[in-house]
Amino acid sequence: MAKRCVPVTVRWSDMDAFGHVNNVQVLRLLEEVRVHAFEDLRDHGGPSLLESGVVVARHEVEYLAPLVWRLAPVPTDIWITAVGGASFEVGYEIYDAVDGAAGGGGGGPAAGGERTVYVRAATTCVAYDLATGAARRLSATEREVLESWTDEPVPFRRRSR
């Protein structure tokens, strides 16, 4: 399976006046997951995308349930849904496992043992040449690794057209 699970820590300061993680902070959580995942390129003989250059061009986020502060990290799946010449789309799902192994401190699995999904999201990233300040083509190594992470599109409930 191409999806990778990256546990991410929710900070107390991520909560807003309504007692759940603020939507802006959700993007920060997704960034942390992306940074950890991009480091996997090192394991395949290439530089991290963070070193070779990548910028965010677009986010789409669907909030499905309130995520509240908890001591244990929240599991987040990350995968690639499409790879182009210079860009690629990243999919995410922030959730709690059915058995609650990743839970603790609130926001655990739903009653009846169903998986609780808090957020589904997609980010369009563009390979970027730091020296010229312009988009660049993905290298053969980057493309190979990203394509090995490819899985189904993010299953958004509502998708704007």
Angstrom distance (rounded) from CA 131 to CA 148: 28
Cβ burial of 85 (10 Å; 0-12, 13-18, 19+) is exposed
Angstrom distance (rounded) from CA 87 to CA 110: 36
Mean pLDDT value across residues 149-159: 90
Domain chopping of the chain, boundaries = 4-148
pLDDT tens readout for residues 80-136: 999 999 999 999 999 997 764 444 334 444 555 688 999 999 999 999 999 999 999
Q: Which residue has the tokens 């010229």?
A: 132
The reported pLDDT for the residue numbered 40 is: 72
Looking at the chain, the whole-number percentage of residues with pLDDT higher than 90 is 70
Mean pLDDT value across residues 14-43: 90
Q: Which fold has domain 4-148?
A: Thiol Ester Dehydrase; Chain A (3.10.129)
Please give the mean pLDDT across all residues of the chain: 87
